[in-house]
Amino acid sequence: MEIMSHSQALAGKEILITAGGTREPIDPVRYLTNRSSGKMGYALAEEAVALGASVTLISAPTALPAPRQVNAIYVESAKEMRSAVLERYNKVDVVIKAAAVADYRPLKEYDRKIKKKDDRFILELVKNPDILAELGQNKKDQILVGFAAETDELEKYAQEKVRSKNLDLLVANDVTIPGAGFAVDTNIVTLFDKDGQAEPLAIMSKKEVARRILLKIKELLSQR
Ligand code: CTP
Ligand code: CA
């Protein structure tokens, strides 16, 4: 019964999801990245399709196959992800930024392989654009959902991010807890609404977490 009533909960909605960890090029054979597996973002894309939404997935590299019935667009760096997202922002109802975007990129991309020479090597980094903050600044009536992986002071940082990025929902997890975060199939998250109110969820599969997030989004869409 539950499945029947939920099956078309997001019918007619255009949802943009980002996933994976961006790669920031150093030279032709090297890059900087992070521990994101893409599992949470891909689970969101699959569940959004199951709930009847039309889904675009903007994905940084992962080891995962493209979910069925999803318009998958592959990017590498934060700058590429930014262009792909901004291009589509005004045509969608919801953006879910599950991607782990590198905060910094190498100042210079070498066009030849860097050869080892000195005992120390300093790589200078510059800040990447904050894609989610930019979406928050330019928000019309989209529902904007962010993610945050923290190692301490989860509630404080989550509330700051909701406010500073103008979010409708933030999904936060403490990656130091076993069963939460990177490369595992479960997650333990707390949902923060736009007023910073916390709703902690129990440990569950990323698929179930995805469904809970999407049903929350459905609620937010119907309140608009
Ligand atoms: N994000 C983004 N662009 C960036 C950095 C982050 O769009 N350059 C998005 C992520 O996709 C995520 C949210 O912002 O949905 C929060 O990312 P997080 O790394 O937790 O927050 P930051 O603002 O980068 O702050 P910090 O890493 O210092 O905690
Ligand atoms: Ca960050």
- Looking at residue 194, its pLDDT comes to 96
Task: Kindly report the protein residue whose alpha carbon is nearest to atom 21 of ligand 1.
Answer: 148
**Which element (helix H / strand E) includes 7?**
none
Query: How confident is the chain (224 residues) per 10-residue block, as mean pLDDT?
Result: 70 98 98 95 98 98 97 98 98 98 98 96 97 98 96 95 98 88 86 96 95 97 93
How far does residue 65's CA lie from ligand 1's centre (Å)?
Answer: 25
Beta carbons within 8 Å of 90's beta carbon, 6+ residues apart = 140
Whole-angstrom distance, CA of residue 186 vs CA of residue 103: 25
Tell me the C-alpha to C-alpha distance, in Å, between residue 174 and each of 69, 97, 188, 216.
Answer: 32, 17, 8, 21
User: Which residues are known binding-site members for CTP?
Assistant: 103, 113, 129-132, 147, 161, 165
Retrieve residue 220's tokens: 């937010």
Among the bound ligands, name the one nearest to the CA of residue 130. Answer: 1
Q: ipTM score here?
A: 0.99
pTM greater than 0.90: yes
How far does residue 191's CA lie from ligand 1's centre (Å)?
Answer: 16
